[in-house]
Chain A
C-alpha cells in the first residue's frame, strides 16, 4: 500500500534524481527504479512505466533550458535519435529472447571502462583536426558560449558511423534492460565524436525523450501506468531538472566529466548487483 507519506518520499527522491539526470544527460531510471521497487515496494513493471514518463519529463525540461543556452546540437540529436529509436524497438523485441543478467554484466564492465577513460582524458576544447568523410559531409558543426570558461567553444562532429552505432546500442539497452540511453550516448559523443561535455549532455537530454516515448506508449497500452505515483515522481523530476539545468552551465566541463564518471561507476555497481540477482 502506497500512502501519502510514501508519495512524498518518492517526490523528494525524484527531485534529487532530476538534478543528477538533467546535469549529466541521463534519464535517471537506473536510480528511480531501485528506489521504487526496493525502497517503496512498488511492482517492477509499474516502476519501469513511471520511470519512462519521468525520463520524458527530464528530457523536455532540460532540453528546453539547454536550447535556450545554445548547448544542444539539434541536427546531430535528431540524426542520432533515429538510431536510438530503432535500437529501442529491436531491444524490446530481443528482451524476450536474451538473458538480461548477462547483458547487464557486460554493460557494467563497459561502464567501468568508460568511467576511467573519461576521468583521465581531457575534455574537447577545440575543432577536430581530422574528420572522416561522412562527418565532413554532414557538417554537424556546433558552437556554444561556455559561461564558466568565458569563451565560445566551436567543435566539429567526428566518427558519425561510430556514433550512430553507439546510439543504436544505447536504444537497444534501453529496450532490453530499461535504462536511459544517456549513459552510452554521452561518452560516445564526448569521447568518439568530439562533442564537448556540456554539448554532449545537453544533446543527450533531447534524444532521451524520444527514445523513452516508444517504450512508454507500449507500457501505457498494456495497462501498466499508475497515474498517482507517476504524477508525484514527474513533479519531483520537473523541480530537480529545472534546478539541474540552471546549475550545469555554471560548472566546468572537467567537473562534469568527473561527476559523470563517478555516476556511471555507481550505475555499473547497480548493474552488477542486478546481474547477480540481488534486486
Chain B
C-alpha cells in the first residue's frame, strides 16, 4: 500500500466510527425497550430460553417484546458487516486494492453463514 493510501484509511475513520456508534447504540436502546416491555407485560419464567431463528423472525413480525430484542440482536450482528461494506465502498473510490481487503472478509463471513444454513 502506498503512503497516500494511509490517508485514505484515516479519512474513512469518521464514517466507520459513526456507523459503529449508531449501530450499537440503536441496538442497546432496542434491548432496553424490549426488556421493559417484556417485564411490564408478561415476565418470562425462564430468561435463558433459546429461540430458533424462525421464532425470532415471527416475534419480529408481530413486534412483541422478544421481537424488539431480536431486531436489536440482528442490528448488533449487522453493524460490523455494515462497517466492512462501508469501508469497502469508501475505499473503492480511492484505491481498489484497499477496497478488496474488507470485501474478502465479507465474502468469507457470508459463505460461512450460507454453509451453516444449507448444512
List residues of chain A with CB under 8 Å of any chain B CB: 1-4, 6-7, 40, 42-43, 45-46, 49, 53, 56-57, 59-61, 63-64, 67-68, 70, 72, 74-75, 78-79, 81-82, 85-86, 89, 92, 137-141, 209-210, 212-214, 216-218, 220-232, 234-235, 238
Contact = CB atoms under 8 A, between A and B. Distances in A.
A232 B47 contact: yes
Given A141-B6, A213-B81, A223 B50 contact: yes
Given A49-B50, A139-B2, A228-B38, 6 more contacts: A2-B46, A63-B17, A140-B1, A214-B108, A226-B47, A231-B34
A1 B51 CA distance: 16
Contacts of A217: 77, 109, 112-113, 116
A139 B5 CA distance: 9
Contact of A226 (B31, B50, B113): B50
Contacts of B84: 78, 210
B39 A213 contact: no
Interface residues of B, number: 64
Contact of A210 (B69, B76, B80): B80
Contacts of B53: 220-221, 223
19 contacts: A2-B48, A53-B77, A56-B77, A57-B24, A57-B27, A60-B80, A61-B20, A64-B21, A75-B98, A82-B104, A85-B109, A218-B112, A225-B51, A228-B35, A228-B69, A231-B31, A231-B34, A234-B27, A235-B31
Interface of B: 1-3, 5-6, 9-10, 12-14, 16-18, 20-21, 23-24, 27-28, 31-32, 34-35, 38-39, 43-53, 55-56, 59, 66, 69-70, 72-73, 76-77, 79-81, 83-84, 87, 98, 101-102, 104-105, 108-109, 111-113, 116-117
